[in-house]
Structure 1
Amino acid sequence: MPIKERSVSLSQKIKKKIIEYILKENLQPDDILPSEAVLVDMFGVSRYTVREALALLEQDKILYKIHGKGTFVNKVPIQVESGLEKLESITDIIESFGYKPGTKWVDIKESLPTRDMIQKMKLKPKEKVITFTRIRTADGKIAAYCVDTIKRSNIVGDIPKNIDKESMFEYLEENFGIIPEYATADIIPVLPTEEMKKHMDIKENQLFLLLYQVHYDKEGHPQIYSMDYFNPDIFKFKVNRLRHY
């Protein structure tokens, strides 16, 4: 079914459609893409929109052009699809798709909780928390900006300076006995925060999908307060829905 042209960033939608086509057809580096005319017919949009989408993919270095010959795949795009029903670490999700997970630490700091943390984590107003902030990558490409907070009382002694674990779930379980059994989550499309822009080479208007979560143990006690900002160019979430009679 042709996609209706709207002002709501149609070129971004076509960009994603082209990525899906590359993955579906298993195109490899230096494989040629269909011509602009074929893409126009394929997606039912204008040549201008197709050109805009191709330009965006060139900017991301996924495609390259050779004058008089056509448009070619420069690198196969990374795309991870995850169901939200299963609670699993970002590391496990990235590895399950055959990509190499990576972590760039931003900081680990002790602070007073926000009003929302106090409410969601059932904290006392002056009860301190520890916040772990990381950039997660898949094959070196930015996949998510993760901000995880736990109670300061969970850590005996000094707060850690460095963590060598890729999985925060594994680290918290092995060191502090924190085992999340389930989580409640809100999914919100957001622009990057000032802190994100400071630590990552991203565009000001780049959208992220924020998974705002509270993780609970098997007794129902809140354990982890998470603000995970996922790059939608890499992460695609799906939800399986059932009809109830």
Structure 2
Amino acid sequence: MTSPAGAVPAKRSTMAPQLKEAIRQLITQDEMGPGDQLPTEPELSEHFGVSRNKIREALKLLEQDGLVTAIQGRGRFVSALGSLPIERPVNVYESITALLQGLGYKVTNVVLSVEEGTADARVARELQLNEGDPVIRLVRLRLGDDQPMVFSINIVRRDALPGPLKFRNWGASVTKSLEGHGHYIAFSIARLSAANLPAEYSEAYDLARYDPWLLVEETCVTREGKRLLYAIDYHRSSEIAFNVVRRR
């Protein structure tokens, strides 16, 4: 049977997040503004070719992110936050690739270096290691439509990704690689600030012209509470921003 237009693949574990993003794209495509009412659950169910329960789960995720507001007896409406097409919710953990794809970019991951090293005082503190413990240091440049968008430095506990470095695809998602070894990131502790790219990188890769960057430092924690990944991501500030919901 042919899937209807706009249909989303029915994979149980990822259905709600996929539908959430599909509905968000629908809001953008239809140029819906703050206060505009969303289609009803039955209408969305028919549009995407999925059950109303799945639609309801996705709408709940949109509500949690502050992108949609539900008013009892009236329906669901686009919030001021949900009507912004460029910025992303700051309280959502997602990979850099997913973030850029969500903004409509064709993503290319360029691996600049990957090497084994040891944890300095800062890394040891963030990953709850001892100074000198082994780590993997991965440096990548993320391109969106062939333009520099995110400069990433990922530092991973060595025991989380065993085996020779040369046999692993370092252009792929580190989060997915960790999942392949049974480590599932549940949340991250993040800090955002404005910063210039360190000179050793800006000069080597001709990136100084994009200063300043939006620096996002994240310590990623598994379901069991283990800190596995310390990510230092410089987002191109002229192209990427984040939204935060503030409530009274």
* Matching residue of 1:195: 200
Q: Distance in 2 between matches of 1:193 and 1:240?
A: 31
Partner deviation per Cα, 1:92-139 (whole Å, 9 max, x = no partner): 121123221111111111111110111121112221100111000111
132, 143, 153: which is aligned to 2:159?
153
1:235 lines up with 2:240 in the alignment? yes
Q: Name the count of aligned residue pairs.
A: 165
1:168 lines up with 2:174 in the alignment? yes
Alignment of 1:56-67 (within 5 A): none
Q: Distance in 2 between matches of 1:204 and 1:187?
A: 21
Give the 3 Å change call, closer, same or farther, for CA 114–94 of structure 1 in structure 2. same
Q: Distance in 1 between matches of 2:207 and 2:123?
A: 28
Shift of the alpha carbon at 1:236? 1.2
Q: Which has the larger radius of gyration?
A: 1
The residue type paired with residue 219 of structure 2 is: V
Helix, strand or coil at the partner of 1:201: coil
Q: Distance in 1 between matches of 2:171 and 2:241?
A: 25
Q: Distance in 2 between matches of 1:197 and 1:120?
A: 25
Partner deviation per Cα, 1:2-60 (whole Å, 9 max, x = no partner): xxxxxxxxxxxxxxxxxxxxxxxx9xxxxxxxxxxxxxxxxxxxxxxxxxxxxxxxxxx
* Matching residue of 1:137: 143
* Matching residue of 2:87: 81
Shift of the alpha carbon at 1:143? 0.7
Shift of the alpha carbon at 1:200? 2.6
TM-score (norm: length of structure 2): 0.61
Shift of the alpha carbon at 1:164? 5.9
Shift of the alpha carbon at 1:210? 0.7
Q: Are 1:80 and 1:94, in contact at CA under 8 Å, matched by a contact in 2?
A: no
* Matching residue of 2:216: 211
TM-score (norm: length of structure 1): 0.62
Matched residues, percent identical?
Answer: 21
Q: Are 1:101 and 1:166, in contact at CA under 8 Å, matched by a contact in 2?
A: no
Helix, strand or coil at the partner of 1:94: helix
1:225 lines up with 2:224 in the alignment? no
Structure 1 stretches of 4+ with a deviation exceeding 3 A read: none
* Matching residue of 1:127: 133
Helix, strand or coil at the partner of 1:226: strand
Give the 3 Å change call, closer, same or farther, for CA 80–109 of structure 1 in structure 2. farther
Give the 3 Å change call, closer, same or farther, for CA 114–126 of structure 1 in structure 2. closer
Give the 3 Å change call, closer, same or farther, for CA 222–191 of structure 1 in structure 2. same
113, 117, 129: which is aligned to 1:111?
117
Please provide the CA RMSD for this pair. Answer: 2.1
1:99 lines up with 2:105 in the alignment? yes
Q: Which runs of 5+ in 1 are unaligned?
A: 1-25, 27-78
Give the 3 Å change call, closer, same or farther, for CA 95–193 of structure 1 in structure 2. same
